[in-house]
Amino acid sequence: MFSNPISAPSPELRIVRVDAILPHEKSDAQRSKPLMKRLARAEFFTNPPLVAELPDDRYVLMDGSNRHLSMSLLGYKHILAQILDYESDYVELGVWQHVVADWKADRLLRKLDAINHTDIRTGWDGSAVAQILLREGPVYSIHAAAENLTQRNATLANLVNAYHNSASLYRTPLSDPGQIWSLFPSGIALIMFPVYTPAEIIQAAVDGAYLPPGVSRHIVHGRALNVNYPMESLRADAPLDAKNALLQDWLREQYAARSIRYYAESTFQFAE
């Protein structure tokens, strides 16, 4: 829990090398393609990805994999990021659940049963790599011979691939089936994932043992949104130090103009 959310510090914004950022999850190509088109036309960079700094001048990408991938594919060398510390009280690591919709439960089970080196068992088991609750019941546990994080994440990737391109997929922080089936009337199954630790997220990024997209969930108090930093400043052919000096001048102007406002409330954004 956050000790004192009202006193969240000012966000630390920094321009960093795109190739110095290490993703911990696979990017969702379906979401990256339209984002690339928007960024190619955009005058401003709106929402910086969230990164944790490593000791070797690299960064672990906490959130924003599609923005990071899109900027890389568009040829940007630098990107605006918000720097965070996993040990801070203002960072909480959670998990998204997946609602599988617009499909048939029996087809989902056949797909899951075809995954190599996995065992599907009826009933809840906390040692499983994932749990599956069908709308009409029952609960299944997915077990695999995963001896390390790389094997565990590979199993989860195969699990998500089994339904990602065949069904509609929705992410939700909810775990109450009553709420979920009410909000997603075409949902046929709820996939529940284990919670990761910060050390596991960092290891996944450094080792390239990527999680499937949309599993990890970073909750940040004091997240910088709607920054609207000029894209031309990111595109400029200038040294990184010079770009960050320009960023600091720009931030001082924003604070002087009182154009930065902190909201302590939890919010729902309908235009995402």
Q: How far apart are alpha carbons 96 and 215 in whole angstroms?
A: 5
Name which residue leads in pLDDT, 8 or 229: 229
Q: What is the mean pLDDT of residues 25-54?
A: 89
Helix extents (H) in the chain:
29-41, 65-73, 105-113, 149-164, 177-183, 198-207, 231-235, 240-256
Examine the pLDDT at 269 and tell me if it is beyond 80: no
Q: Dump pLDDT digits (tens) for 169-202.
A: 999 999 899 999 999 999 999 999 988 999 999 9
**More confident position, 246 or 164:** 246
pLDDT tens-digit map of 116-127: 888 999 998 888
Q: State phi, psi for 22 to the nearest 5 degrees.
A: -105, 115
Q: Each residue of 241-250: pLDDT tens digit?
A: 999 999 999 9
Residue 13 has a pLDDT of 98
pLDDT band at 265 (very low <50, low <70, confident <90, very high): confident
Which amino acid, 132? I
Please report the pLDDT score of residue 9 as a whole number.
73
> What is the structure's pLDDT at 8?
64
- Domains of the chain (ranges; CATH) run 5-92+218-256 (3.90.1530.10), 97-192 (3.30.1760)
pLDDT in tens, 15-25: 999 999 999 99
Which carries the bigger pLDDT value, residue 77 or residue 269?
A: 77
Per-residue pLDDT at 271: 61
Q: Name the token pair of 147.
A: 């001896």
Rg (C-alpha) for the chain, rounded Å, is: 20
pLDDT digits (tens, 9 = 90+) for 80-136: 999 999 999 899 999 999 999 999 999 999 999 999 888 999 998 888 999 999 998
Which pTM does this prediction carry?
0.88
What was the pLDDT predicted at 137?
85
Handedness of CA 35, 37, 39, 41 (dihedral sign): negative
